[in-house]
Amino acid sequence: YCSHNGDAPNLHFYRNFCPSNLAWLSITALALYLCSFAAGFGPLPWTICAEIFDNKSRSLGTSITTTVNWTANLLVSLTFLTLTQALSRQVNEFFVIKGAFLLYAGLSTVGLVLFYIFLPETKYHTLDDVEFLIR
């Protein structure tokens, strides 16, 4: 009885949350994003850490890099809703510009340019060659 009463509000929320017939589209887009991220840019920080740090400083460098990565993820999670409310602009009744996404896209573009400029190409190089390239 208690379990049934506890599930009733959830069932109502489940059935009435998205009355559109396109609810499947958001789930499909999320799954596509997760698969693409996991196969593409997701593992890049860990691969880059393994290549750019020499053997003596690899564990400390990877630890610091991981801490910075998760701290940045935490900051994005904590500030996203506030930024979305502060930086959104209603263009018309159907279109809203979400400034938080533009801010994050701009920061990502700056990061991409910095990586392109400062990160050496390590393809076909041994770890000793990479260590020489970085010094």
36 with 85, same domain? no
Is the domain of 107 the same as that of 123?
yes
Q: What is the pLDDT of residue 12?
A: 57
How far is it, in rounded angstroms, from Cα 43 to Cα 59?
17
Q: What is the residue range of 105's domain?
A: 43-135
CA distances from 94 to 27, 40, 46, 80, 90 (A): 22, 33, 41, 22, 8
Same domain, 34 and 47: no
What is the per-residue pLDDT for 117? Answer: 92
Residues 31 and 91 in one domain: no
pLDDT band at 1 (very low <50, low <70, confident <90, very high): very low
Is the domain of 26 the same as that of 52? Answer: no
Do both 30 and 54 map to the same domain? no
What's the pLDDT at 71? 95
Q: Over 60: is that where the pLDDT of 79 sits?
A: yes
Task: Please report, in angstroms and rounded to a whole number, the separation of the first and last CA atoms in the chain.
Answer: 68
Report the alpha-carbon angle 8-12-13, nearest 5: 115
The total of structural domains in the chain comes to: 2
> Mean pLDDT lowest for which of 10-14, 58-62, 88-92?
10-14
Domain match, 103 and 47 both: yes
User: Residues 58, 113: one domain?
Assistant: yes
Q: Give Cα 15 to chain centroid, integer Å.
A: 30
User: How far apart are alpha carbons 32 and 86 in whole angstroms?
Assistant: 29
